[in-house]
C-alpha cells in the first residue's frame, strides 16, 4: 500500500482556494504537475499549497516516486479540474513529473492511491477521468501521449483489476442516474442529465451543445450549466443560423413583377437572396398576378 503523508492546508488558506467541504467524491480526476524542475516532487507541491499557493489552484494529492502527500481532506471541493462540476464532485490527484524522479514509479503510486480511493468511496473505474475530460486541457500530458513509457489505457487497465473488490454502495453515496427515456428530471447536474439520456457529457461536447443553444463563451460555470440543463430538459430546439427573409413573399413578388430583380429565375432568386423553398413561393405569388 502506497504511503500517504498528510500536510493539510490551513483552514484560512483553504477557504480562498476551494468551494467548501461538501465534495460528493463521485469522480477521481488525474492530472500531472507539468513541472519538470528537479526537486519539484510531492513534498515540494505539498509545501507549496500549505504555504499559500500564489495561484488560485488546489488539489487533494501530490504523488511522486516515493510518496503521496495529501494537502486537503477528501471532502474539500478543490479547483484543479477547471470545471465547477468536477471540482465540486471529484478528488484531484497530481502526478509529479520532476526530472530527478522516476515517472513510471510515480504513476504506479498514483494507480495504487486511485485504487484505495475507488474502494473507499465506491467509485467505479469509468468515473476515473483525465483532467482533459473535465476542461479540455492537454493533461495529464505524458499519460495521454505515452511518451514516458505508460499511457492512459494502461493506467485504466490496472484499475479494472480491482473492480470486483469495490464495496456495495452505501445509501448516502451518490450513484449515476440510469437512463429513463426522458432523462433524469430531478438532477441539477448537466453531466448526470446527459448521462441519463445516454449522451456524451464531456466538456468538449457540452461546449458544442452550449454553442448550438446560444450560450456564448461556455466555460462550464454553474450558471451556464444550469441554463443549458434547463434548455435541454425543456425540449428547446437548437438555434439555427439561417437568416430570415427581411421581406414577405408578397413584397418580393411585387418587386419581381416590377422588374427590380432582372430576368430569369436564377438571376431573380440570387438577387432576392432566398432559398429554393422561398423562391418557389415567390413564383407562385407572381403567377397569381397574371
Burial code (b: 16+ CB inside 10 Å, e: under 16) for 40-50 equals bbbbbbbebbe
Does some domain include residue 171? no
What cell was used for 96? Answer: 509529479
The 10s digit of each residue's pLDDT in 235-266 is 666 665 555 567 898 998 888 888 888 888 88
- Find the CATH number of the domain harbouring 59: 3.40.80.10
Does some domain include residue 129? yes
Residue 183 has pLDDT above 80, yes or no: no
Task: Provide the Cα torsion 54, 59, 65, 69; round to 10°.
Answer: 90
- First vs last Cα of the chain: how many Å apart? 90
Same domain, 45 and 135: yes
Task: Provide the Cα torsion 110, 113, 119, 125; round to 10°.
Answer: -10
Sequence-separated (6 or more) residues with CB below 8 Å from residue 252: 245, 272, 274, 282, 285
Q: State the residue range of the domain holding 206.
A: 176-241
User: What average pLDDT does the segment 273-285 reach?
Assistant: 88
Instruction: Please give the residue that has the higher pLDDT: either 218 or 20.
Output: 20
Residue 206 has pLDDT above 90, yes or no: no
What cell was used for 280? Answer: 418557389
Q: What is the pLDDT of residue 180?
A: 39
CB-based burial label for 85 (10 Å; 0-12, 13-18, 19+): buried
Residue 186 has pLDDT above 80, yes or no: no
Same domain, 89 and 223: no
Query: To the nearest 5 percent, what fractions of the chain are helix, strand and coil?
Result: 45, 10, 50
Q: How far apart are CA 196 and CA 189, in angstroms?
A: 11
Among 28-42, 91-105, 171-185, where is mean pLDDT lowest? 171-185
Confidence of residue 121 (pLDDT cuts 50, 70, 90): very high
Strands 27-32 and 68-70: unpaired
Q: How far apart are CA 60 and CA 224, in angstroms?
A: 26
Looking at 132, 165, 198, the residue that finishes a domain is: 165
Q: What is the pLDDT of residue 151?
A: 96
Looking at 136, 165, 194, the residue that finishes a domain is: 165
Sheet containing 27-32: which strands, arranged edge to edge?
Answer: 4-6, 68-70, 61-63, 90-95, 27-32, 128-130
Same domain, 193 and 149: no
Among 29-38, 80-89, 163-172, 229-238, where is mean pLDDT lowest? 163-172
- Helix 276-288 / helix 249-257 crossing angle, nearest 10 deg: 60
Tell me if residue 18 falls in helix, strand or coil: strand
Same domain, 196 and 278: no
Strands 61-63 and 128-130: unpaired
What cell was used for 166? Answer: 469495490
Same domain, 27 and 122: yes
The 10s digit of each residue's pLDDT in 61-97 is 999 999 999 999 999 999 999 888 999 999 999 999 9
Looking at 204, 225, 241, the residue that finishes a domain is: 241
Same domain, 46 and 93: yes
What cell was used for 61? Answer: 494529492
Same domain, 153 and 256: no
Q: What is the pLDDT of residue 165?
A: 39
Same domain, 196 and 117: no
Does some domain include residue 170? no
Same domain, 18 and 145: yes
pTM reported for the whole predicted model: 0.59
Does some domain include residue 111? yes
Does some domain include residue 211? yes
Please give the tally of structural domains in the chain: 3
Same domain, 62 and 133: yes
- Residue 264 vs residues 261, 269, 271, 281: alpha-carbon distances, Å: 9, 9, 11, 16
User: What average pLDDT does the segment 88-107 reach?
Assistant: 97
Same domain, 268 and 126: no
Same domain, 108 and 201: no
Q: What is the pLDDT of residue 241?
A: 56
- Residue 275 vs residues 112, 242, 278, 283: alpha-carbon distances, Å: 61, 10, 6, 12
Does some domain include residue 113? yes
The 10s digit of each residue's pLDDT in 169-180 is 443 444 443 333
Amino acid at each position: 500500500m502506497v504511503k500517504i503523508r498528510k500536510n493539510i492546508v490551513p483552514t484560512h488558506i483553504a477557504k480562498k482556494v476551494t468551494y467548501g467541504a461538501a465534495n460528493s467524491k463521485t469522480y477521481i480526476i488525474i492530472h500531472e504537475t507539468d513541472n519538470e524542475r528537479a526537486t519539484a516532487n510531492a513534498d515540494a507541491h505539498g509545501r507549496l499549497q500549505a504555504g499559500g499557493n500564489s495561484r488560485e489552484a488546489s488539489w487533494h494529492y501530490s504523488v511522486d516516486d516515493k510518496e503521496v502527500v495529501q494537502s486537503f481532506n477528501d471532502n474539500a471541493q478543490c479547483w484543479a479540474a477547471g470545471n465547477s462540476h468536477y471540482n465540486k464532485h471529484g478528488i484531484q490527484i497530481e502526478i509529479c513529473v520532476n526530472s530527478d524522479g522516476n515517472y513510471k514509479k510515480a504513476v504506479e503510486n498514483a494507480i495504487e492511491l486511485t485504487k484505495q480511493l475507488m474502494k473507499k468511496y465506491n467509485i467505479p473505474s469509468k468515473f476515473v477521468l483525465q483532467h482533459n475530460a473535465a476542461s479540455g486541457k492537454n493533461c495529464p500530458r505524458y499519460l495521454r501521449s505515452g511518451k514516458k513509457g505508460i499511457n492512459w489505457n494502461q493506467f485504466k487497465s490496472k484499475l479494472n483489476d480491482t473492480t470486483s473488490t469495490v464495496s456495495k454502495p452505501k445509501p448516502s453515496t451518490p450513484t449515476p442516474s440510469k437512463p429513463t427515456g426522458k432523462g433524469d428530471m430531478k438532477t441539477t447536474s448537466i453531466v448526470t442529465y446527459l448521462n441519463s439520456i445516454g449522451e456524451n457529457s464531456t466538456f468538449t461536447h457540452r461546449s458544442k451543445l452550449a454553442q448550438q443553444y446560444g450560450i456564448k463563451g461556455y466555460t462550464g460555470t454553474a450558471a451556464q450549466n444550469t441554463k443549458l440543463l434547463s434548455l435541454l430538459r425543456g425540449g428547446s430546439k437548437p438555434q439555427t443560423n439561417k437568416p430570415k427573409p427581411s421581406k414577405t413573399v408578397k413584397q418580393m413578388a411585387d418587386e419581381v413583377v416590377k422588374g427590380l430583380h432582372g430576368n430569369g429565375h436564377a438571376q431573380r432568386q440570387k438577387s432576392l437572396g432566398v432559398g429554393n423553398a422561398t423562391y418557389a413561393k415567390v413564383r407562385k405569388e407572381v403567377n397569381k398576378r397574371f
